[in-house]
Structure 1
Amino acid sequence: MNRLVILGVGPQARVIPDLLSALSDWELVGFVDCRDERPCLVGDAAAYAVFDGSDFPETIARQTGIFRPLIALSRMGHRKEWIRKIGELGMDPATLIHPTAVLSRSAEIGRGCLICPGVIIGPGVKIGDHCIINSASTIDHDSVLEENVILAAGVHLPGFVRVGSGTFIGVGSCAVNHVTIGRDCLIGAGSVVTKDLLDGILAAGVPAKEIRKL
């Protein structure tokens, strides 16, 4: 049995206990309040311990023993800080894949990833470390997600799409084949990306257009 500690107490963290109920090889120890988001631990999530992020991981390790972390923060800046921290500590982040997700045998999934219910990942897809693929999103053949990418629910990426590290793609968005979305971009909900986007761009609309630089 693997012990899991979730970094974050917001909406993304809140859904993980339900996902874990479908997995038999993980024990949730609790959550870490990283002080960057409003707590949203209700329902099943409210039953678990909440640790202070200021003394991570020492206090948790003393109380629970060896555990594996999973970053469930929403803000990219804070995610990057914690990715760096657990890397410096030499920790092995957990990857969770819901059993209803469909993954090609040739797909590659990195460390510290969260793959939610109903996700479909096609052949030749490469997903970097610390990515979150939310419910009912699809990533088709030969597409690449670099490190620390978040796809909100219902995002659809066709073949040969590349998404740069630190990018968030909003709910219900999609793209056309062969486009590249740069690093540290924010794509608004319901957008359709029809052409390449440079790094650090806020884009939205149908078709998605640059609104401003981030």
Structure 2
Amino acid sequence: MKKLIIIGGYGNGTVVQSTVEDINDVKPEWEILGFLNDKEKDSINGYPVLGAIDKETVNKYLNDPDVYFFYSLISVKLNHKFLYKLQDLEIPTNRFATIIHPTAVVAKTAKIGYGVCIQPFVSVGPNTIIGNYIHIFAQSLIGHGSTLDDYSYVANNACIGADVHLKEGAYLGTNATTLEYVTLGKWSITGIGAVVLKNVEDYAKVVGSPARVIGTTK
């Protein structure tokens, strides 16, 4: 079995943990060694906290080629301003695990990068390109031909139309929907239930139906 260290904790980290456990229920694939976390010191959901999120702790495990990592610290609050937390660790990209729930449906022609978590009942259409360090939450749909750049975030029940482009760090909220062929700009936030009918600018915050700009993430 491959070994996994989850960088993070309660929240996205424990959702990744649950997804891994569901994978192992079907076919044992991952041994969760534990979490890296700056706040918790003992355990998270029964798994040990191995240490803080720092290069010194990571280096203890990098020499074992069977150890992989998952970076879960991406969210509305943990955006581009916090990327240094990942970059400072200097973990090679190919040492990040991609976790796909057994109930997810992923087209054979989809291309998926490293450090991706695809959760229950997600549908990923043909000819999609999914980059690195991306969360795709339960029951969301990624339309055919769409591209999700690194650090994108797709919340549960979101629907991405065909040939849509989520630029680096774009966040699509719960139950949000996009028209086909639109682009969501770098580190933009599309709020809960929004309906996106036209391109969203870089760093914009949009809400509503149709989606309108209410602020910035800079």
Common fold, TM-score beyond 0.5? yes
- Counterpart position of 1:90: 92
Deviation at 1:211, TM superposition (A): 0.7
Match of residue 36 from structure 2: 32
User: Does the CA contact (< 8 Å) of 1:174 and 1:193 recur in 2?
Assistant: yes
Show CA shifts across 1:55-80 (max 9, x none).
33134569x88511101113123662
**Structure 2 CA distance for aligned equivalents of residues 10 and 69 of structure 1:** 16
2:109 paired with 1:106: yes
Please name the residue that 2:52 is paired with.
Answer: 52
Structure 2 vs 1, CA of residues 89 and 12 (structure 1 numbering), >3 Å: closer, same or farther? closer
1:174 aligns with 2:177: yes
**Aligned residues of 2:80 and 2:187 also touching (Cα < 8 A):** no
The CA distance in 2 between the partners of 1:56 and 1:183, in whole Å, is 31
Gap regions ≥5 residues in structure 2: none
| Percent identity for Structure 1 against Structure 2 | 27
Matches within 5 A, 1:1-214: 1-23=1-23, 24-35=28-39, 45-50=44-49, 51-54=51-54, 55-60=56-61, 66-73=66-73, 74=75, 75-77=78-80, 80-86=83-89, 88-90=90-92, 92-214=95-217
* Residue correspondences, number: 206
Q: TM-score, normalised by structure 2?
A: 0.87
- Judged with a 3 Å threshold, the aligned counterparts in structure 2 of structure 1 residues 34 and 155 are, in CA distance, closer, same or farther, namely farther
Aligned counterparts of 1:71 and 1:2: Cα–Cα separation in 2: 16
Amino acid at match of 1:90: P
Change (3 A) 1:79 1:104: farther
Query: SS in structure 1 opposite 2:83?
Result: helix
- Structure 1 unaligned spans of 5+: none
Deviation for aligned residue 1:16? 2.1
For residues 81 and 14 of structure 2, the distance between their equivalents in structure 1, rounded to whole angstroms, comes to 17
CA contact (8 A) 1:136 1:153 kept: yes
Root-mean-square deviation over aligned CA pairs? 2.1
Cα separation, 1, equivalents of 2:82 and 2:118: 17
| TM-score, length basis structure 1 | 0.88
What is the SS of the residue equivalent to 2:186? coil
AA at the equivalent of 2:158: V
C-alpha deviation, 1:213, in angstroms: 2.1
Report the AA paired with residue 48 of structure 1.
Y
| CA distance, structure 1, for counterparts of residue 12 and residue 91 of structure 2 | 24
2:59 maps to a residue whose letter is E
Return closer, same or farther for 1:168/1:81 CA change in 2, 3 Å cut-off: same
